[in-house]
Amino acid sequence: MLLQTLLVALAVLPFAGAILAFPGEIMEFVFGESYGEVSGVMGFMVMSQIMFAFSLPWSNLYLMKNGETVYALANLMAAIFAFAVAFALAGTYSALAVAIASMLGNTLLMLFFWGLGTLEILGEEGK
Amino acid sequence: MTLLKVIAVIILLFVWLSYRKSRPAEVSDLFVISFLLIYVPGFILNPSGGSNFNQLSMSAAAVFQAEISFLTVLCLISLVMLVRWAVEARFGWLNRVSAPLSARNASQWLAVGALCFAIAFFIAIIQFPDALAFRKDVFRFLTFQMGGIEHRILRNSGYSSSFVVASVLERARYTIFPISYCLIIYFLIEKRRFMATAVFSILFFIALPASLSKLPFLFYFGYIGVLLVSRVPQLHRAGWFLLFSLIGAALTIEALSILYAAQYKEAVIRGSVIPVDLAMQRIWGEPYSIIVRYFAVYPEILDFTGWGGVGQIAQIFGLPVRKPDIEVALSMLGPNNGSNPAAFFMSGYAAFGRVGLVLFSITGLFFLWAVDLVGRKLRFPHLKSVYVATMGMNVLFLNQIALQTAFLTYGLGIIPPVVLFLDYCVFAVERQSLSVREYLQIGSR
């Protein structure tokens, strides 16, 4: 699991780092000049994707060992949480609220799967 | 230059992970991980050290000197790692980890002993009126009953003249207190009393290591975290620690960026402030910026401090004491801007220039090797966990404090002999109850 997560980190972090370091330039290069201004939203979206990537090794493991119910419940919980945050912040932060909500939702997902995975390792140790 | 930096970092990572392969994480690993995470992003992405926070513009010469010196330190870390690898391969006994011995009741009576010590210490210090007043202030601080101005005054100068608070408590806070704390909670965790661990942690924190800053909170959480991880061999690997630190760094960026989004709401909505960018500048821009400031001050603005800048030695030999961390803050930021402490080798640079930087780096890195060797010689798993937790967290101070200060005030020179002594005591007491198999193990060594 360690190797899988480190590989995910190795694959994701350089790209994420580049987008975080040069958000305006990358948005302008990919989508055109008028999109350069939304680099504030990009930062949160990138963090959101980093968190999602970190949750992947554990969540996929649950899918592979018949833990679909846990997987579905965790995703449902994250979606409801993200929806509530987006709804609460939309009036103040408009598009930024959705980005923040997505980031917090994926963070919750990551913490859930990591917590569950670490507890399993601790449990195995206690046997 | 950027390519050179990336290559130096990749070499360091390669050497370190190869050396660490298939062996439990040790104290020095936590230093390497923290050092890489704290300084390398700023070193590569923001070498000028200027940011939205400090608004500093340092000379090109200072920036270049800082880059070259930091590259030198990265190469020195790789080199010392290679030396360790080669020497340990040649002298196998250095590499040998003591076979774990199981002392039946040791964790219990060590916990009771630590608890008695903690209670005795608490009773002793509240006999002093200034210590009692300090404790009450800490309680007000912890329960949010203290205003910002009062807090600043009390924290900066309120108890600086009190011997019990400034000398005894401050030195015990990261040395004997964490050892006692870890010994007690190890026993509670072993018995799976998680609620008792939480309650005891709060009581212990209010009663003993009390501080008017938030730093001890972070460290005492860290002691529990590392203690938990170090009990599980599967997680007790440098790779896992690296991964947990990466996730911790990502979570810190998130938390800070949300705080900034709330603080600068209007500017964020207008798009003139990018919260994630600001959080990254705060976390990674500032630590490396402080290193560049040392090169902008010495020798451009002030002469090197010589031995006068190495606190304890200056005091012992009666030299006029100079404080590089305060001198740098004064020269670069002006008065009333606190201090600018940097990584442990920077006090060497402030004292003797590049030679001092190299000497302090090598001394610090070899000292970390000695710390790891002590860890390998501990015979009882619970003391090993306590050692890794306390020293593993305290080596983080090397990222922002002079080597000699970390050695005394932050316990890097105190914890190893204390834990070694406890290990010897447990061995002496439990000798009779060790199993035949364990006796044979000892005999065969």
Q: Does A47 touch chain B (CB under 8 A)?
A: yes
* Residue A106's pLDDT band (cuts 50, 70, 90): very high
Report d(CA B224, CA B215) in Å as an integer. Answer: 15
Judged against a pLDDT cut of 90, whether residue B73 lies above it is answered with: yes
Q: Tell me whether residue B283 is exposed, middle or buried, using C-beta atoms within 10 angstroms of its C-beta: 0 to 12, 13 to 18, 19 or more.
A: middle
Task: Give the least confident one: B62-71, B215-224, B334-343.
Answer: B334-343
Q: What pLDDT does residue B436 have?
A: 57
B273-291 tens-digit pLDDT: 788 888 888 888 788 888 9
Position A36 scores a pLDDT of 65
Half-sphere exposure (CA, 13 Å, Cβ side) for B55? 2
Average pLDDT, chain A: 83
Q: Nearest-5° angle of CA B209, CA B213, CA B214?
A: 90
- Mean local confidence (pLDDT), B312-316: 77
More confident residue, B71 or A25: B71
User: What is the average pLDDT across B404-428?
Assistant: 88
CB contact under 8 A, A93 and B276: no
pLDDT value of position B437: 57
| pLDDT tens-digit map of B173-230 | 888 999 999 999 998 888 888 888 888 888 888 787 677 777 787 888 889 888 888 8
Rounded distance between C-alpha atoms, residue A61 and residue B33, angstroms: 27
Lowest mean pLDDT among A92-106, B285-299, B320-334: B320-334
Q: Is the pLDDT of residue A84 over 90?
A: yes
The pLDDT score that the predictor gives to residue B319 is 78
Q: Kindly report the pTM of this predicted structure.
A: 0.83
List Cβ neighbours of B297 (8 Å cut-off, separation of 6 or more): B327, B328, B331, B332
Question: Is B330 a residue whose pLDDT tops 60?
Answer: yes
Q: Which residue out of A50, A55, A56 would a mutagenesis test of the B interface target, given it has the greatest number of B Cβ atoms within 10 Å?
A: A50
What average pLDDT does range B55-61 have in this prediction? 82
- A126: its two tokens: 């206690």
Mapped to the 3 state alphabet, what secondary structure does chain B carry?
A: CHHHHHHHHHHHHHHHHHHHCCCECCHHHHHHHHHHHHHHHHHHHCCCCCCCCCCCCCCHHHHHHHHHHHHHHHHHHHHHHHHHHHHHHHCHHHHCCCCCCCCCCHHHHHHHHHHHHHHHHHHHHCCCHHHHHHHHHHHHHHCCCCCHHHHHHHHHHHCCCCHHHHHHHHHHCCCHHHHHHHHHHHHHHHCCCHHHHHHHHHHHHHHCCCCCCCHHHHHHHHHHHHHHHHCCCCCCEHHHHHHHHHHHHHHHHHHHHHHHHHHCHHHHHHCCCCHHHHHHHHHHHHHHHHHHHHHHHCCCCCCCCHHHHCHHHHHHCCCCCCCHHHHHHHHHHCCCCCCCCCCCCHHHHHHHCHHHHHHHHHHHHHHHHHHHHHHHHCCCHHHHHHHHHHHHHHHHHHHCCCHHHHHHCCCCCCHHHHHHHHHHHHHHHHHHHCCHHHHHHHHHC
Residue type, B308: G
Lowest mean pLDDT among A99-113, B72-86, B197-211: B197-211
Partner-chain contact B233 A125, CB within 8 Å: yes
Distance CA B419, CA B427 (A): 12
pLDDT tens digit string along B362-381? 999 999 999 999 998 888 88
**B-chain residues near A122 (CB < 8 A):** 228, 232
* A43: nearest CB among B228, B242, B275: B275
Looking at chain A, the whole-number percentage of residues with pLDDT higher than 70 is: 91
In this prediction, residues B88-99 reach a mean pLDDT of: 78
Total count of residues recorded for chain A: 127
At residue B22 the predicted structure's pLDDT band, cuts being 50, 70 and 90, is: low
pLDDT per residue over B290-310, tens digit each? Answer: 899 999 888 888 888 888 878
How confident is the prediction for chain B on average, in pLDDT?
84
Q: Is the pLDDT of residue A83 over 90?
A: yes
- State what percent of residues in chain B have pLDDT above 90: 20
Angle between helices B381-394 and B215-230 (to 10 degrees): 150
Q: Which of B231, B269, B276 sits opposite A43 (nearest CB)?
A: B276
* pLDDT at residue B442 is higher than 60: no
Percentage of chain A with pLDDT > 90? 22
Of A38, A47, A121, the CB nearest to B232: A121
